[in-house]
Structure 1
């Protein structure tokens, strides 16, 4: 497996770690760099009676602990959960992170979602990917073009999601299974069994892909093409 830098961008802390965490872990065990970026901490999901500001600090610490297990980095922007702004200010903030990290692969949300922050994140990242690649958008750091952008499989982003890329993440799965425990809600949520769901989903996709574990992604529709020679037929 080639060494890659992967930047997984979620609307909230935990989104990228659940949906693309095994890809990040597989990248890490093969000597690559794994970075997560959350537009918000996801603090509005605090347990009943919990202090939201304290829970936000806890969520950021959990993101950092997950990234540390992978030898990577966690970045959390200061936007408010549930109120992600759909404007160029946040697009350029994400653009700047892309130029800083210099990823080969960007992963973010699929276009459709039951959660407004997820849908906004998809639009923001898609534009930021473009901004980061264009020299004419002059920022502090030089341009960077991430060659691939993937849209992750998320139970909240189910409408219209059709698996296109099955990535074998078997090598990183044990590391993901350990690291995801840093995210309190993934293990202890009473509203949805996050870790259990995504663990089974990765195994299901692995069976479909004839591998141990897979994570599935969509790609931009304009990239839907299969190029073959006569020898491939």
Structure 2
């Protein structure tokens, strides 16, 4: 019996957020034939390297998002909103709602609720509401309603306050290698002096894998209302 193909939509505040935090799982699903879509609500251009024009770096970030998605056989979407200026508004909720209705994902991955970064927290709130709006046919939009049945919050060092790993998803060496190859196309991952992104997330994947008694894994939180285990017996 063939496995149902899934569509996964990973939504970050900036280009690179979901690629770092959920990229191993995204790579794993791409190898299984699933469709991967990344949506960045801003490009994250304020992390511009010293001496580089910010508009030029924004274009570079958009290209990096596309290159990552291309390597996973997927697609990328980057909104034109300036980094650091993401509005916590109904308009943004409807924009993301429209993307959800366009992509029609089975699974959405986004930021956890707490963060040191304003755009991450705003993205969390936008996505939660946009998922709700997208699923209700009574919200009249250009495209028909679609409800993504599963929602996960990725583990991010910037979103660490009160984060507790709830779901462990393991992946293979092949997926790990694909993830790192695609991830290394992002300048800030390999070139930033502010934080050793590549080293941190490589080791985190191994640590979470050990905890799961596997080789590599990434962890996720879920909405509080879904934190229930249903068993008929012990």
Q: Flag whether TM exceeds 0.5 (same fold).
A: yes
Match of 1:18 among 10, 17, 20: 20
Partner of residue 35, structure 2 = 33
Q: Give yes or no for contact 1:5–1:27 (8 Å, CA) kept in 2.
A: no
Q: Secondary structure at the match of 1:225?
A: coil
Q: Which contiguous aligned blocks of 4+ residues in structure 1 show a shift greater than 4 angstroms?
A: none
Of 64, 67, 79, the match for 1:65 = 67
State the TM-score, normalized to the length of structure 1: 0.97
What aligned pairs does 1:54-203 form with structure 2 within 5 A after superposition? 54-170=56-172, 172-203=175-206
Equivalent-residue separation in structure 2 for 1:4 and 1:211 (angstroms): 23
| Structure 1 Cα separation of the partners of residues 4 and 17 of structure 2 | 25
Distance in 2 of aligned mates of 1:144 and 1:175: 30
Q: Is contact 1:36-1:67 (8 Å) kept?
A: yes
CA distance in 1, matches of 2:171, 2:41: 25
Unpaired segments ≥5 residues, structure 2? none
* Residue number in structure 2 paired with 1:224: 227
SS of corresponding position for 1:172: helix
Q: After TM superposition, give the deviation of residue 50 of structure 1 in Å.
A: 1.0
**1:90-131 Cα distance to aligned partner (Å, 9 max, x none):** 111111111111111100000000000000000000000100
**Partner residue in 1 for 2:54:** 52
Tell whether 2:191 aligns with 1:213. Answer: no
User: How many corresponding residue pairs?
Assistant: 231
* Distance of 2:105 and 2:6 partners within structure 1: 8
Q: TM-score, normalised by structure 2?
A: 0.97
In structure 1, the gaps of 5 or more residues are none
Q: In the TM superposition, what is the alpha-carbon distance from 1:185 to its structure 2 partner? A: 0.6
The SS at the match of 2:11 is: strand
